[in-house]
Structure 1
Amino acid sequence: MATYTHFAKQPDVLKHLILCEVLKNETPQVYVETNSACAIYPMTQTPEQQYGIYHFLEKADEVPSLKDSVYYQLESGEMAKGNYLGSPALAMNVLGKQAKRFVFFDLEKSALENVGTYAKQIGLSASVEIHHTDSSRGTIELLPSLPTSSFIHIDPYEIDKKGNSGVTYLDVLIQATLLGMKCLLWYGFMTGDDKASLDNYITSSLEKAGIKDYTGVELAMNSIRKDSVLCNPSILGSGILATNLSQTSTDIILDYSNQLVDIYKDAKYKDYDGSLYIQHL
């Protein structure tokens, strides 16, 4: 098993809930994921997971729209077996055989082996490609060969740091967006200062590239502080940035983000305030 430990925490709930619903709506035939990690993980019921997927599943039982979501349906079934589905498994389950091609990048070989094994189990090996390489470079090089209808899922945590390729993950989104592709980017932050810096980086970079039509939402714990870390549930805030999606998908992003704020209004992470607030870019 790969060394990833971030799975099933609160930022994953935001990312994966929205990813599933948007993919169901957009139905792309080519799906590319820059930082896949594993397809499936054994659950360990840490405090961070209790604040994440366990809280979501408990509260979603009381909210019909969340209980009917693709994410709830997929995860509740797998959680009953003691597992959590990561984004590669969620994407493969949502799109299935109607997608002609799945492309997964990661630097951890064991994570990609996990993805390959899961693809074989659900009968999708023939359409799955795995690339054990730097994904910023790999994705940038891949983009010109893809149809404009491709869906690019960019999931790096840090979107403002240049990799060996000399580009950032926001650069990947910008290039894919300008080529007409559908993009969903997730990123995280730990302090208010980090958040403000990223917000400025995102808006200024998109403006410079001439990209005006985009959707951006951020959810952060009310326990987040300006320049210090009061508690560490893995990530104190995260954002979703989307481009070239349909109006229905845009509405999905906004609606489900607001619903997460609602179901976390009385949440606790250990003894800390686990409630969330939302901000739009």
Structure 2
Amino acid sequence: MVTYTHFGKQPDVLKHLVLCEVLQIEKPQIYVETNSACAIYTMTHTPEQEYGIYHFLNEANKDATLKNSLYYQLESECMANGNYLGSPALAMKVLNNDVKGCLFFDLEKGALDNIELFARTQAVTPPIRTLNCDSIDGVLKLLSSLPKSTFLHIDPYEIDKTNNNGHTYLDVLIGATKLGMKCLLWYGFMTINDKQVLNKYMSEKFNKVGIKDYTCAELIMNAIKKDTVVCNPGILGSGILATNLSQKSNSIIKDYSKKLVGIYKDALYQEFDGSLYHDTISKKQNIRIKRHL
């Protein structure tokens, strides 16, 4: 039984909007996803989905770039039938047969079954392989056998939590980055304190291993507080961290995240301020904190 309920929420919009555009630009030979979840979901019009994908589809009509995005086009068609495409489906549709293979990891067998069923229903789909295991160790073991042209989509929420062998998802990104592979990592947080901890963790790890060239874009709900959670639209803040991507992809990440700020400027999540602001890993976090005390 699949228990995932995160689909179609606002953080998915950032993650999947960027993923579709970047995959089309980078055209990898191998696609690897660490936390795949399902390929397709049935929408239920929850408040979180209304604030997420429904708000995006309604407001993106006002912005030509967003309306012409692959994400908008793919989800508009699927949502007309009451369904939402998860990242495995989006990746398969964007890459088609232009990729040699897709590897999907997940701990829930039901999610992997969903991916396999979706792939069988498509007229054109790349060769896929599903792996029902811990993806931190699974990917780390595979890295040395993968070509440099591999693209890793790392999507765990918690990037600093160690597994049984003491490794984290940031370790996966670092290992793949040092091998020259293209990486897109998504992470989330619920308070400003959480954000600070994650930003410090990422900065220190990158400094330790000598990774200086990366792109980071965070979207944060203005309702976020320093150390308390006043509402839960899914996640109050999330970020995209990218390495080894082309300049065009890096620009897309920055530009599209800022465009989402624009279409959410008057948004509400229930009775809460649903507007967003854009941030990144920086030394200016204390300035941000003052507005949320």
* Alpha-carbon distance between aligned partners in 2 of 1:126 and 1:248, rounded to the nearest angstrom: 25
Pairing of 1:1-281 with structure 2 (within 5 A): 2-123=2-123, 127-281=127-281
- List structure 1 segments (4+ residues) > 4 angstroms apart after TM superposition: 123-126
Q: Which amino acid aligns with 2:212?
A: K
Q: Which amino acid aligns with 2:169?
A: Y
SS of 1:8 mapped into structure 2:
coil
CA contact (8 A) 2:96 2:125 kept: no
CA contact (8 A) 2:151 2:183 kept: yes
What residue ranges of structure 2 are gaps of 5+ in the alignment? 282-293
* Alpha-carbon distance between aligned partners in 2 of 1:125 and 1:111, rounded to the nearest angstrom: 18
CA contact (8 A) 1:41 1:86 kept: yes
In terms of mean alpha carbon deviation, does 122-131 or 186-195 score higher?
122-131
* Alpha-carbon distance between aligned partners in 2 of 1:195 and 1:7, rounded to the nearest angstrom: 22
Could you say what the CA RMSD is over the residues aligned between the two structures, in angstroms?
0.9
CA contact (8 A) 2:215 2:250 kept: yes
Identity %: 64
SS of 1:194 mapped into structure 2:
helix
* Alpha-carbon distance between aligned partners in 2 of 1:190 and 1:280, rounded to the nearest angstrom: 16
Are the structure 2 counterparts of residues 94 and 126 from structure 1 closer, same or farther at C-alpha, using a change threshold of 3 Å? closer
CA contact (8 A) 1:137 1:164 kept: no
Q: Which amino acid aligns with 2:53?
A: I
SS of 1:219 mapped into structure 2:
strand
* Alpha-carbon distance between aligned partners in 2 of 1:85 and 1:188, rounded to the nearest angstrom: 20
SS of 1:102 mapped into structure 2:
strand
* Alpha-carbon distance between aligned partners in 2 of 1:237 and 1:9, rounded to the nearest angstrom: 12
Q: Which amino acid aligns with 2:191?
A: T
* Alpha-carbon distance between aligned partners in 1 of 2:143 and 2:94, rounded to the nearest angstrom: 23
Q: Which amino acid aligns with 2:81?
A: K
What residue ranges of structure 1 are gaps of 5+ in the alignment? none
* Alpha-carbon distance between aligned partners in 2 of 1:126 and 1:224, rounded to the nearest angstrom: 40
* Alpha-carbon distance between aligned partners in 2 of 1:10 and 1:165, rounded to the nearest angstrom: 32
* Alpha-carbon distance between aligned partners in 1 of 2:156 and 2:44, rounded to the nearest angstrom: 23
* TM-score calculated relative to the size of structure 2: 0.95
* TM-score calculated relative to the size of structure 1: 0.99
SS of 1:115 mapped into structure 2:
helix
Q: CA deviation at 1:165?
A: 3.2
